[in-house]
């Protein structure tokens, strides 16, 4: 059933690209829900994140290493790959949403409107739970600020 959905989605998107008028890649919408994306904190353990005025370079370095080891199989820093690129992510997601997506992707793709849409956009390929601790996810978030 899931496989069938995947195939159908795959056909749709490749079919669309060949039609005239679909050549221009649509940009990711800035706000994907009726409410401002900043208000969407996602579902999961993280309810509030405070970002410092300056990037914490030491924490960002830690995050970069975690990202290289646990995420690069599917994500490149600045280019779409199996999953989206995190470069510019703060222009479309709240920090809490990002951390909940890292820590609780299974529930996010079931219940969160942005995550559900994203799963469709990526033809049903789900974001993987890499079992990061909250502290590790926070470090990755800080690394994303440097991209
Ligand atoms: C097995 C592949 C895979 C791995 C490993 C993976 N991801 Fe993902 N990720 C995806 C896919 C596919 C999506 C988009 C589809 C979805 O959300 O279900 C995604 C989505 C995301 C998003 C949402 C991006 C956006 O633009 O809204 C974030 C944030 C994210 N991943 C972070 C991470 C981090 C951090 C790691 C490492 C700890 C990681 N991912 C590991 C496949 C992966």
**Ligand 1 centroid, distance to 12 Cα (angstroms):** 22
In this predicted structure, the answer to whether residue 80 has a pLDDT above a threshold of 50 is yes
130 C-alpha to ligand 1 centroid (Å): 10
CA distance 61 to 146: 10
pLDDT tier for residue 1 given thresholds of 50, 70 and 90: low
Tokens for 60? 């960002």
- Calpha distance 10→122 (Å, rounded): 9
Closest residue by Cα to atom 22, ligand 1, is 101
Residues with Cβ within 8 Å of 57's Cβ and at least 6 positions away in sequence, in order, are none
**pLDDT at position 12, please?**
47
Residue with the bigger pLDDT between 39 and 29: it is 39
Residue 32 has pLDDT above 90, yes or no: no
Ligand 1 first shell, C-beta below 6 A: 70-71, 73-75, 82-84, 86, 89, 93, 98, 101-102, 109, 115, 118-119, 122, 125-128, 130, 132, 140
The mean per-residue pLDDT over the stretch 82-92 comes to: 96
Please report which confidence band the pLDDT of residue 23 belongs to, taking 50, 70 and 90 as the band edges: low
CA neighbor of 4 nearest in space, from 143, 126, 123: 123
For ligand 1, atom 21: residue with the closest CA: 127
Report the pLDDT value the prediction gives residue 10, as an integer from 0 to 100: 47
Residue 40 in tokens: 């969407």
Cα–ligand 1 centroid distance for 20 (angstroms): 31
Distance of CA 109 to the CA centre of its chain: 11
Residue bearing the CA closest to ligand 1, atom 20: 127
Is the pLDDT at 17 greater than 70, yes or no?
A: no
Q: Whose C-alpha lies nearest to ligand 1, atom 24?
A: 84
């Amino acid at each position: 059933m899931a496989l069938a959905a995947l195939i159908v989605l795959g056909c749709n998107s490749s079919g669309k690209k060949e039609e005239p008028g679909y050549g221009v890649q649509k940009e990711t919408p800035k706000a994907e829900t009726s409410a401002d994306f900043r208000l969407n904190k996602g579902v999961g353990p993280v309810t509030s994140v405070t970002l410092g005025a300056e990037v914490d370079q030491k924490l960002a370095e830690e995050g970069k290493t975690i990202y290289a080891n646990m995420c690069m199989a599917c994500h490149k820093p600045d280019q779409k790959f199996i999953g989206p690129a995190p470069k510019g992510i703060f222009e479309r997601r709240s920090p809490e949403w990002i951390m909940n997506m890292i820590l609780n992707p299974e529930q996010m793709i079931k219940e969160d409107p942005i995550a559900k849409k994203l799963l469709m956009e990526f033809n049903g390929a789900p974001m993987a739970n890499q079992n990061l601790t909250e502290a590790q996810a926070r470090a990755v978030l800080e690394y994303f600020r440097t991209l």
